Amino acid sequence: MITKSKVIKENEFLYKDKNLLTILIATTLRGYNLGFMGVFLGVYFYFIGLSDLKFGIALSCVTLSGALSNLFVYFFKNLISRKQFLIIMSVSSVIGGFIFLVTENYYLILLASLLSISSITGGDRTGITSVEIPIISKLVELKKQTSAYSVYNFLPMISKIIGTSILLIVPILTSVTELKTKTVYSILLTIYIVITILQTLVYNFLDHRIEAKEKIQKKISKIKNNESSLIIIITFLFAIDSFGGGFIARSFITFWLIKKFSLSEATLSIIFIIAQVLNGLSLVIAPKIAKNIGVLNTMILSQMIANGIIIVAALSSNWILATVLYLIKETFNDLDIPTRQAFMMSIVKENNQTQMASMSNLGRTAAHTFSPGIAGYISSVLGISLSLVFGSTIKLLYSLILLRFKFSTFNKLEIK
């Protein structure tokens, strides 16, 4: 049980708890970087001349960085404190950003991608969230957790809009100054590095209250059989979803819009700014929808609608229609984020929440690691549009499987 002194009271705001405020500030800073990298990498890799296959491999390495960070959290969660985890992974991102800044060598680009602890989707499936999600669960009472996770995801969504829109300055600076495109890209990467350093410093304000109650120093704690089964099922399901998501990641959408419709950086920035606003809207309304139709129903229906729409968009030959459909898809796409996080934390005990978060994130990032490379190959052979269709079809299959589990394994676990 979580004692009253360790929860946020109903009449208090999230910012009144020092640890929660620290997490919210850090995740807001990280949101800028995720929004920036989610769009920038597609543009930058195209700029330095990567082929479709090399592009896919590089994106896979970015995703692999998330998988490795989750493995790091899972295997060392009883040896390293949550605060130390957050600082170490932030430092890794700083190093990765510096390598991106100083070289265009393909193999060093791959190394930077592995160290980035980032995402090609604009979302966050790294070990950082695997640590932060249980912290929020520890500090916030159960009935308020969906709302807390909504705020946790909404604030970085605002900064993601800034990170996405920063690409608007590329054509402006190159047209009104003598700066070359490469120089402007270097400026943007420097901003990324500085913000990541600030994120690292913010984590230093966390205190001992964020740590798990039960911490075994010499071995990984065992999970009860029923919770172990739940973690395995969740990991399997989310891996399917994430594998499909790798084919339609934001960086791939960027690459698709550039290659098929020859859109400029400014146009892309505007599109993704609107997308981020719509993502933020979905995060705000997610708790209300979940309250009315249930958490799992929200997760299932939102993904079925979103991925059905992206299939139609991928087959469109008109960039305006394709863009409008993509933006409609983004309106539904993030409804499952706070609901998914609240659901995961509600079905296991506190001492197993970090394992649930890290294993489910590991399943997502591991599956997501391979799909961009496969998508790059499919794109080089069949075209990038069919790659998008393939990924959306897999995500629709995930929704149907999740629906099946809703009426069996998860039937008694639904959060009302």
**Segments making up each domain of the chain, as ranges:** 13-406
Rg of the chain over all Cα atoms, to the nearest angstrom: 20
How many other CB atoms sit within 10 Å of the CB of residue 15? 12
pLDDT at 121: 67
Residues of the chain with pLDDT under 70: 1-16, 121-123, 213-226, 407-416
Domain 13-406: CATH architecture, name and number where available: Up-down Bundle (1.20)
The angle subtended at Cα 132 by Cα 63 and Cα 88, nearest 5°, is 65
pLDDT at 339: 84
Residue 122, SS3 per DSSP? coil
Task: Please check whether residue 120 is in contact with residue 69, taking contact to mean a CB–CB distance below 8 angstroms.
Answer: no
Could you tell me how far CA 290 lies from the centroid of its own chain? 21
How many other CB atoms sit within 10 Å of the CB of residue 37? 29
The string over 203-233, giving b where at least 16 C-beta atoms fall within 10 Å of a residue's C-beta and e elsewhere, is: beebeeebebeeeeeeeeeebeeebeebbee
pLDDT at 115: 95
Per-residue pLDDT tens for 287-322? 888 888 888 888 889 999 999 999 999 999 899 999
Q: What is the DSSP string of 176-237?
A: HSS--HHHHHHHHHHHHHHHHHHHHHHGGG--GGGS-S---SSSPPP--HHHHHHHHHHHHH
Nearest to 303 by CA among 264, 329, 339: 329
What pTM does this model have?
Answer: 0.70
pLDDT at 292: 87
pLDDT at 143: 72
Q: How far, in Å, CA of 204 to CA of 313, rounded? A: 44
Q: How far, in Å, CA of 303 to CA of 306, rounded? A: 5
pLDDT at 216: 41
pLDDT at 304: 94
